[in-house]
Structure 1
Amino acid sequence: MQSSNPVFSRNDAFNGKGGTTYADFNEPAYGAPSTHTGSGTGRMTIDSVVQKTGITLGIVVLAAAATWVLTGDIFDQTTGLVDSDVTSRLYALSIVGALGGFALSMVNSFKKVVSPALVIAYAAFQGVAVGAFSKVMEANFGDGLVVGAVLGTVAAVAGTLTAYKVFDIQVGSKFRKWVIGMMFGFVAVTLLDVVLGFFNAEMGFNGFGPLGLLMSVVGLAIGVLMLILDFDFVERGISAGLPERESWRAAFGLTVTIVWIYIEILRILAILRGND
């Protein structure tokens, strides 16, 4: 089985391959030195995953808040309108943060042994991107937008987790393939629209019109489905007895999905408010 989240797909125990057990992560293979030494010798648990996810999301929030505060007032003191220069700087920061976060997400996804420092660095870059983008959205579409998106994200995560546990959702191969396919298709379409934008030929998938709203609704639905797969693979990792250090990998994967959901909800609220 392969996870929709590349963070988990790099680890066989998250995918239920080969009957990997806790001992396999502590005994050297064929006389080779173990890659797990020193800290993190206990087993990964729900508590350790929640703790590491809380730390990672906390860094995202702190970096976002710092970006919001340190970039100053976005409104021109003379006209009371949104300052285009400040907006340009915020967009630049969001791009830098997003690119830095993307680069680190690739490194974290393909590292065989998870690095807590790189996970934290990813969260910091992602926080800068989220903070800058959120500030621009709130300035352009009105107060309360970010609070609404945060509450919506909490509700989406809590609701998905509740449905996953109460209805005992089973993740089958067809379900997994469809979600993976939709995720890659969504990313491909949005990236294509970005490229077309450089030639003033964008189709509006990333815009704030009806097509942008449709894409964000689809993106939100995909994010929720990805979250279900993430919960499933975390459970598999715990059942396999992964070392406690792997909680950082789980936290990273969940953070990627939760930030995805937040951005889509923020866009949906902005578009709906803009059409009022």
Structure 2
Amino acid sequence: MGEVGGLLREWRTRRRLSQLALAHEAEISPRHLSFLETGRSAPSREMVLRLAEHLDVPLRDRDQLLLAAGYAPVYPRRALDSPELSRVRAAVRLVLRAHEPWPAVAVDRRWRLVDGNAAVPVLTAGAAPHLLRPPVNALRLTLHPDGLAPRVLNLGQWRAHLLARLRRQAQLTADPDLTALLDELRGYPGGTDPEPVEPGPGDVVVPLRLRHGDGELTLLSTVSTFGTPLDVTVEELSIETFLPGDDATAAALRAATPGGAPLRRPDPGSASGHRP
């Protein structure tokens, strides 16, 4: 039982909570929490789930806590192409299509492309074929010198934003694959983590400024997730939409999208279709 105690302590430390603060939030005594973390007391199944909830532990890792405490996992990990997730797939497609002609993609927890709408080729034009072969990693595609990077007019600013976002995600989840991806992206031309760019007068968000033909697209990114997931795969899905930041960008996207084809999705059984 000491294994689960050590894991709970790691998650508490990662969330920068003291034993007193976590005990107060979970409505247990600090002494009891101390006994759980040191292995002097064995947590019940309900206690493991209660502490995981207050520590905001991802569903995938809540199952690991349960296993470490000697209990069976409770959160399913269905493949995205399974019959049980057909409504989820339909909902994702509905959201992606609803955003056309604005580009939108669905990615999994490791930034692998799950789906994309008909406007995505506007973003990926000119990228090397090897970066577009499934499984496509959205961050690698964006920052790779053979990907979108040569077209990103504010590459330093956008790269700083993406690396900071990935770094926070790796720290929050302790996922070694995300850490490896972060190390890879840091090794691309441009050095290690760039300095954060100071916002200018009137700036409210970091735009993606992308060369498009003889002009420029100014895109604002938004991210959507399922609000009440009970499945590991569903919790780890996110949809990123690139909205036009000005009238010229909106007109260019409307002109470019008709007849476009969505970025080719992985076949069932490939990296994003396997059982996590």
TM-score category (smaller protein): under 0.3
Higher strand share: 2
Larger Rg: 2
Q: More relative contact order in 1 or in 2 (CA 8 Å, sep 6+)? A: 1
Q: When you count helix as a share of all residues, which structure comes out higher? A: 1
